[in-house]
Structures are given as structure tokens and as C-alpha cells.
Chains A and B, each alone.
Chain A
Amino acid sequence: MTAIAKLKIRRGSHDEPPRWQSFEVPFEPGQSVLDGLRWLRINKDPTLAMRFSCINANACKECMIQLDGETVYACTARLEPREMTLTPLPNKALIRDLVTEIAPPSERFR
């Protein structure tokens, strides 16, 4: 049997009450949490909102979220074969699901 990582994700937009949803994703040693989230969007739920750009290089710094209450980059945090709780950054304005407003004010549209 393949190992499974269970991603428990807080979802909803800034004007909705938050809801929790859990997904099982296949686990391979060495994978990142972002790998798991990308697998999830392709195979389970393309409506999940998340922010990332460079995928693996930890160069864009866009994929900051909280994992079990700690702020991490999803591209460098390792996926593990257990339940992992993913939430948006608590100190940034929520946009939707795992996406928060992380751009400095001078680089936002409005």
C-alpha cells in the first residue's frame, strides 16, 4: 500500500466563514508540501486557491503558508505521511483558501 499524506486545509474567502477540508495525497519521500498541493489540484480539486510561482527554487517566496501553525514555504517544507494542517498566513489579509495579500502596499493594484 502506498503511503498517504493527509492535508487538512482551511478554505474559504475573506467574506465567508472558514471551513475545513481534508484530502489524501500519495506520499513519496523527499516531496514538498507544494508537490502535494499541486497533485491535489490536478487530481482532486482544481478549485483550491494557492499562490506559487517558481515551483521548486525557493526564489519567488510566494508560497508562504502555515503548516501546523508554523509559517513555512510550501516548496521547501517536506510532505510527511501523517495529517498536516495547512492554513493561510494569519497576519496577512485573507484573499481565498491559502492565498493572502503578501505584496507590499506599493505593489498592489488597490
Chain B
Amino acid sequence: MTSEPITIETDVLVIGSGAAGMYAAIEAARGGARVFLIDRSLIGRGGATVMAQMTVAVALGEEVPDAPQHHYDDTIAAGRGLCDEALTQLLCEEAPGCIRELDAWGVGWARKDNHITATAAPGHDRPRCVYVDFINTGPAVSKTLRTVMARNKDIRKAGDICITDLVAGADGEIAGAVGWHLSSGAPVAIAAKATVLATGGLTRLYRRNSASLNMGGDGYALALRAGGSLIDMEFVQFFPIGHLAPRLVGMDPIMWDPFRYKLGGRLLNGRMEEFTSRYGSDEDGKYTLPRDLATFAIFREVEAGRGSPHGGAYLSFEHCTAAALRAAFGPVIDRLAANAIDLTRMPVEVAPIAHYHMGGVVADAQMQTELPGLFAAGEVVGGANGANRLSGNAISEALVFGRRAGRSAAARAKKIARRGWKDLRPNDGRAALELVGNANGGGRGLNTAAMIARLQAIMSDEVGPFRTAAKLDRALADIAALTGELGERPPRRADAADYDLQRLEWFDLRNMLLVAGTVAQSALARTESRGSHQREDFPQTLPHWRRHQRVRLAGAALQVTGAPAEALVS
């Protein structure tokens, strides 16, 4: 097989086809651009959106008066002093418009008395979270955006493409990307006037996570290697009540949250005692505890020997009648029954699970990154949610930032001349192409699947929600060892090059290990506790740490900056 790449030219390249990427594609096409939308998985099927069974936070004010300012105030408060206010403002102000546009496109928001209904969720001062029944929000959003794209001839779509590097033009601006086509193994080179990163977060770095296989932090690694910087990488959100036991197939592990929104539900320790009041919150049968505090409470109970049998807490709906459960969850009750779970008679076990990443690529309110030609949208963007994200803000952010990034990318594409692959900066393009080509392929002896499992174990055990310098030092040493093991060349293409998962996992690990390093190093440098980042050796939240840390690549080394002078002295 030849290493000559398949070349593509487009106005706007969108990498990632969750809600952010699809909305960006639709909006860029609306702005007059030809769009190429690609995904490492299938279009609209991988990523986080399709997994988001829950709700979308938006100040529609249809049932009770509400305004974006109230949504903003709650988001800022939850962010523990670290929200990027311009991004938070954009998120809250533009969410209603996006939600209404999706409504017009037929997404099917749940309605009561002829208006879109909203439910209460922890951290919101009033019912603000819209949804599609029954726990079908993300799939409905995904399907709607896919349907809208299908009618648009200016959007070309292709799944099964793994992007490995961004490439700059002769002027130093981002001018496209290099990757390979999974189904054939062929290298791919894409020239674009504007590129949108919409690759989502990094939850795949953890053993127990609530996201798809392609959420390994690709966008963070692409931006870093292209010279961009990341902020707030230490802030990984753990979802407190991810399903733990009994074994439940065919359901998203974060499925219990909407049950709690609708029905309350009691969180109990292994002795069947309510315990959250010990950690500063008395839920009183309702559901008001923010995610960081709930995660903290469950971990502490387990640590004190009061966990449930599988190492979490019990969640009980035994106070609810079968009729109430059926009314709230319809056919989901039957899916639970197929897993031998009867909520009227038994609690389930839950435990914190990696769910979302607050940090990410630095971008302004136009979704312009620090690198000209490169925009970002959705979870890959850092800053809008500070140190702790409110329930419901992830899909809002995907929609709002996606739409804005698409608009900005189309505007840029209008202003610059046609770009072909040959206009790209020759050195960058050549190095990237050599990596995906077969000429310098490495050996095929690596067990890449096992290496990913090892990385997930390191991150879960040493870089989870509760951190110490000793744990983080161990993690960094282990990450460095795995990086050495991975080497600098992907396995050479096998004779059967089609859908070579080992090769894909090599490229995944190249990104995951780099990104794991940014999380561990930023966590080590932040010598305080705030939101989702809890240092057992620095338990206080310190005023002088109310600031972002940035990570960049300096040569092959990660450089974390932003620590306050006070921290550097101590």
C-alpha cells in the first residue's frame, strides 16, 4: 500500500461530531462555507452527546420566571471562583436561542401544558433543566442535528477518520490536519481555511467513566502539539452516583441522576444510614447536593469503612411506589427488570465515575483559540465551568459554543484565499505524514489495549478526585514509563491494514499519555483544594489560588505556569 495521502480541500474542517461539532458544521454552512465534518468514530454516534441521557440547563423561563443572569450566577457560584466570565456569559445568554432552534428542528423537548417543561437540578436556584423523555436527551439532540445536516449539501461527512496532527501553513496559521482512514489504513491530508476542534473531553483516561471510547483528550493533544495552551487541566469532574452494582447492561452508568431529579432518592452508606449531613449538607430526601460535595462524601464514607459491598454507597428509591416509578420512567423500568433490578424492593450501589473535564483549550468568546485558524467548541474548551460544572451545562455549552465556532470559522473562511494541501508549511506537513505513513513504522509487539488499561488504572488510583503529592509523583513516573514503552513510531501497517485497532490505540495512547501528564502536573502544582480538585495534603481553598494554570509544550516537556507567588515560596 502506498503512503501517498488522500488529499481534501475544504473551507471549514470540523473534527468531532458530537453536538458541538454538528452544530458548528450546520452554522458554518449557514455562513456560506463548504464544510468537512469528520469523526474518529461514526458520525453523531461516538462522543459524549449521545451518552447524555439527562438534561440541558437553559433559562427559558416558561414555567417560572427565569433569565440568563440567574443561570450565570449559579454557574459562577458552582465554578468556585474559576469561571471564565466571558465564556460563562455566552453560555447562559445564548442557550435559550439554541434550545428553541432545536425545538423548531423537532428534537421533542418534554412539554407540560403546551410549554417546554424544566426540572430542578442541584446548584440551580429554580427548575431550569429541559429534557427529552425517557432519559433520551442526548440521543435526541444527536439525531436531530444529524437529520438537519443530512439536508445540507454543503456539509460533507466522514466517520472512521483519526486525526493525528494539526498542520500550519507557511504563515504559521493552522491550515489543516493530517490523519488516517481507519477502514483502509490510508493517510489523509486535509487543507482548510478554518479548523474547529470539537473532540470533547478526557474521561477515557479513567477506568470507570461515563463517556465513549473516543474521549481520550484528542483535541487537547492536537492543540498542545500545534503550540496552543490549555487551562485548568487539573479539574476533572467525577459524577458522584455512577452505577456500580448490580451489573447493569444497556444503560448509561450516570442514569440515576434524572431519577433523583424527579423522585428524590436516598443516598445511604453500607449501614443503611443517611450520611451526607456529616459533610455539610442535609438533603432531606430531596436532591440538592452539588457534585463535588457528593463525591467527597461518598469517598469519605468508603474510606471510613462504611461503604457498600462494592465500594460505594447505596441509592434507594424504596420509598417510591411502583406506579410513581413507572410514571417517571416508563419503559426504563422494564430495562431495569431485565437486569433483575426492582427499585421498589432493593437499593442499587453507586460510586463516583469520571464524567466531564472542566479544563481545556484556551478560547475567547468567539471560540477563537490562541492559534489563528483554529477554533474550539464544546467540552474541549476550558474555562466556562471553572472548577466544578453545574448539572445540565454540558449540552448547553456544546450547542452554544458549537454554533459560535461555526459562525467564526465561516467568517474566517470568507476572508482568506483558497488553500490547498501544497500551501501548508512543508516541514510540519511532512513530519505528520511520515507518522501516519508506513515508511517508518515501528514493531507490532505492543499490547496497546493492555497499555490503555494500565494508564486508566494509574489515573484512577493516583489522579482521582483525592490527590497528594506522593500519588501525583508516582503517576507522573508511571506515565513517563508508559510513554517510553510506547516509543515514537506507530506499529507499521499490518498486511491487513483495514481497521487496525492496535495502530489506532497507538495514536490514542500518544494523545492520552500527553494529556494525562497535563492533568497530573497541573494537579501537583495546585497546592490547594478547590471544586473537583481535592488535595489531601492541601485541604484548604486559598484566595491567592483563585487563578488559572496554563500548560504548554516546551520542546518535549510540559510546562505549567500560573501558580501564585505565595505558592512558589512555600
Contacts and interface: CB of A to CB of B under 8 A. Distances in A.
Contacts of A48: 501
A76 interface: yes
B158 A107 contact: yes
B41 interface: yes
Contact of B499 (A15, A99, A109): A99
Contacts of A28: 247
Contacts of A42: 447, 449-450, 453
A53 B502 contact: no
A109 B159 CA distance: 7
A49 B500 contact: yes
Interface string B166-187: 0000000000000001011000
Contacts of B6: 110
A96 B498 contact: yes
Nearest to A31: B247
Contacts, number: 132
Contacts of A16: 496
B445 to A, nearest CB: 10
A2 interface: no
B68 interface: no
Given A54-B50, A55-B212, A102 B42 contact: yes
B195 interface: no
B291 to A, nearest CB: 19
Given A30-B246, A42-B450, A46-B450, A53 B41 contact: yes
B249 A56 contact: yes
B252 interface: yes
A59 B139 contact: yes
Nearest to B253: A56
B555 interface: no
A64 to B, nearest CB: 11
Interface in B39-97: 41-43, 45-46, 50-51, 53
Contact of B250 (A41, A76, A103): A76
B150 interface: yes
A99 to B, nearest CB: 5
Interface string A73-110: 10110100000000000000001110101110011111
A56 B45 contact: no
Interface string B259-301: 0000000000000000000000000000000000000000000
B160 interface: yes
A58 interface: yes
B195 to A, nearest CB: 18
Nearest to B138: A59
B159 A41 contact: no
Interface in A14-47: 14-16, 28-32, 38, 41-43, 46-47
Contact of A60 (B42, B246, B448, B450): B42
A15 B214 CA distance: 28
B447 A109 contact: no
Interface in B414-454: 446-450, 453
B182 to A, nearest CB: 9
Contact of A95 (B188, B249, B253, B499): B499
A103 B498 contact: no
Nearest to B501: A49
Nearest to A43: B450
A60 B143 CA distance: 11
Contacts of A14: 498
A59 B44 CA distance: 11
Given A13-B496, A107-B157, A55 B502 contact: no
A14 B502 CA distance: 18
B251 interface: yes
A8 interface: no
B505 interface: yes
B111 to A, nearest CB: 23
B499 A30 contact: no
Contacts of B161: 109
A76 B248 CA distance: 9
Interface of A: 12-16, 28-32, 38, 41-43, 46-62, 73, 75-76, 78, 95-97, 99, 101-103, 106-110
Given A13-B498, A56-B248, A103-B160, 18 more contacts: A28-B247, A30-B246, A42-B453, A46-B505, A51-B499, A53-B41, A54-B212, A56-B252, A60-B41, A62-B46, A75-B249, A95-B499, A96-B496, A99-B499, A103-B42, A103-B43, A107-B43, A109-B183
List of 7 A-B pairs having minimum Cβ-Cβ separation, nearest first = A30-B247, A57-B252, A109-B158, A76-B250, A13-B496, A53-B46, A58-B250
14 contacts: A29-B247, A30-B247, A42-B447, A57-B250, A59-B50, A59-B51, A59-B139, A62-B41, A96-B500, A99-B498, A101-B183, A102-B42, A103-B43, A110-B6
